[in-house]
Amino acid sequence: MKWDPLARKGLTGRLPEAWRQPLAVVGGVIAIVWLVVALAAPVLAPHDPLAQDLPRLAAPGPGHWFGTDQLGRDILSRVMHGARVSIPLTLMLVALSVLVGGLLGACAGYFGRWVDETIMRVADLVFAFPTVILAMVVAAALGASLTNAVLAVLVVAWPAYARVTRGLVLGVREREFVLSGRLLGFSAWRSLRVDVLPNVTGPVLVLATLDIGTALLLLSGLSFLGLGAKPPSPEWGAMVASGVEVFDSWWVATFPGLAILTVVLAFNFLGDTLRDALDPRTARAIKERAL
């Protein structure tokens, strides 16, 4: 893959067509709805998400459309407020992974030698574990809390970005415009920042969009295991876990699970379309089809 400054025009040129795809539109609409819910939950939610003032385990019906849980809290309000917990944390988590992984990967690719060896061998080590297992082990070692769960997911998430960024930087490093910058006396840091990084951000951002769903699944999975959010926080994974205890009251676990599903699905729809639009292999396939 060659990403040079001139190709950036092509990148923005191809995007609008991608957004005309129905999957991307559906994903975008769902994502926007959830963002609005997250922002306006205090206004939109019919009840206080923590108040235990309703009948316990009431089935969905007027007044409490998603039913109530075993402590008499309104599930609809908790799911809405849960968006304020899960969505910002997930976005922050992915941003941190991009930052940490991207920076380490860029250093590995740019400086090579022992820097490359050290960083990439650590990344290999993380890849040697199944993700949930490693995240679970890290979260358990750090102690159960939502912050530690975020850290644990960060530990398993950064190597993917490091690998991709490293590969892209390796492809750009020897190009003339980078070498001429170095000859003009740019420091390594300036060369990396001005010449190299702008050329690798595109694919890394696609990866990040694709990763938002996975990150939310991991984070809520840790909470489900009791290694993330603590009660009474209306975190979706923890809410599903509380539904396990009363599983004949199906609504307690069903609605928070659907919330996770729809958010992950929205970002996967978006990411998948974005990848198709930007992946040169798919682009080639489309070109061939047109012939």
Instruction: In angstroms, give the least distance from the CB of 55 to other proteins.
Output: 22
| Residue 141 vs 183, nearer CB to other proteins | 141
Q: What is the smallest separation between the CB atom of 124 and other proteins, expressed in angstroms?
A: 7
Residues 19-48, interacting with other proteins (CB under 8 A): 23
Burial of 180 (0-12, 13-18, 19+ CB in 10 A): exposed
Cα(98)–Cα(94) distance, rounded to whole angstroms? 6
> How far, in Å, CA of 216 to CA of 86, rounded?
7
Q: Does 264 bind other proteins (CB under 8 A)?
A: yes
Q: In sequence order, what are the residues at sequence separation of 6 or more whose Cβ sits closer than 8 angstroms to the Cβ of residue 175?
A: 4
Burial of 105 (0-12, 13-18, 19+ CB in 10 A): buried
Question: Which residues lie closer than 8 Å to 172 by C-beta, 6 or more apart?
Answer: 3, 4, 178, 195, 196, 199, 200
Binding-residue pattern over the window 123 to 162 for other proteins, x denoting contact by CB under 8 A: -xx--xxxxxxx-xxxxxxxxx------------------
Q: Which of residues 215-254 bind other proteins (CB under 8 A)?
A: 217, 220-221, 224-227, 237, 240-241, 243-244, 247-248, 250, 253-254
290 makes contact with other proteins (CB under 8 A): no
Cβ closest to other proteins, residue 107 vs residue 239? 239
The Cα 220–Cα 96 span in angstroms is 18
Binding of other proteins by 170 (CB under 8 A): no
Question: Of 199 and 249, which has the nearer Cβ to other proteins?
Answer: 249
The whole-angstrom separation of Cα 147 and Cα 125 is: 23
Six-digit token string for 142:
């750090």
Q: For residue 242, how many C-alpha atoms fall within 13 Å in the half-sphere facing its CB?
A: 24
CB of 257 to other proteins, least distance (A): 3
- Residues in contact with other proteins by the rule CB under 8 A: 23, 121, 124-125, 128-134, 136-144, 213, 217, 220-221, 224-227, 237, 240-241, 243-244, 247-248, 250, 253-254, 256-257, 260-261, 264-265, 268-269, 272, 281-282, 285, 288-289
